[in-house]
């Protein structure tokens, strides 16, 4: 049987390049030049820490970071901006999670979309990925086309890997 895996991951080197480029832009922007804090990438926790004097500057840091991430070719939905800002002394901090792996809710949406399309394929969750298998490769390609059309509904960037026939 032919199969492939649906995953959601971000290349760590590309993310690091985007963060470093955002740091350089932060140093050169006139309105943000003398601010305390900045942008820090934590590779182990897979998070990005933004900090500045007030929430308006933190929002400006978000915009800079998002612009640089998109220019590096990373989907903007890979960053989770939903965390609340926290005041810590003189600085306002915000932690942004980098989404890695297909979470349970997104996996259910993917499997439901595949079943609603009534294609002759089987989809199942495996840890942080979804495996799709079928007898024909054409059915698998139809699933890929379907999920690319509905990627906005899922809310996560998806990659299709390990195509086997």
Q: Of 72, 98, 124, which one is at a domain's C-terminal end?
A: 98
114 shares a domain with 51: no
> What's the alpha-carbon Rg for the chain, to the nearest Å?
19
Task: Write out the two tokens for 162.
Answer: 């390990």
113 shares a domain with 91: no
pLDDT value, residue 72: 92
Name the residue range of residue 45's domain: 12-98
pLDDT value, residue 1: 83
58 shares a domain with 91: yes
pLDDT value, residue 148: 87
- Global pTM reads 0.80
151 shares a domain with 85: no
Per the structure, the count of domains in the chain is 2
Mean pLDDT of successive 10-residue segments in the chain (165 residues)? 87 92 87 80 91 87 92 89 82 89 86 87 88 88 87 81 82
Cα within 13 Å of Cα(97), Cβ side: 8
The residues near 56 (Cβ < 8 Å, ≥ 6 apart) are none
148 shares a domain with 79: no
Q: Of 98, 131, 146, which one is at a domain's C-terminal end?
A: 98
């Amino acid at each position: 049987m032919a199969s492939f895996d649906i995953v959601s991951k971000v290349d760590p080197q590309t993310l690091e390049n985007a963060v470093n480029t955002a740091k350089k832009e932060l140093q050169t922007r006139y309105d943000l030049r003398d601010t305390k804090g900045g942008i820090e990438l934590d590779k182990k926790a897979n998070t990005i820490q933004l900090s500045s004097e007030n929430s308006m500057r933190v929002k400006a840091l978000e915009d800079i970071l998002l612009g640089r991430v998109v220019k590096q070719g990373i989907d903007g939905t890979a960053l989770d901006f939903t965390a609340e800002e926290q005041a810590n002394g003189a600085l306002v901090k915000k932690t942004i999670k980098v989404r890695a792996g297909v979470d349970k809710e997104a996996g259910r949406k993917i499997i439901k979309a595949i079943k609603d399309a009534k294609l002759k394929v089987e989809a199942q969750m495996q840890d942080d990925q979804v495996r799709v298998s079928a007898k024909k490769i054409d059915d698998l390609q139809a699933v890929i086309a379907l999920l690319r059309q509905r990627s906005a509904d899922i809310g996560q960037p998806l990659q299709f890997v390990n195509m086997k026939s």
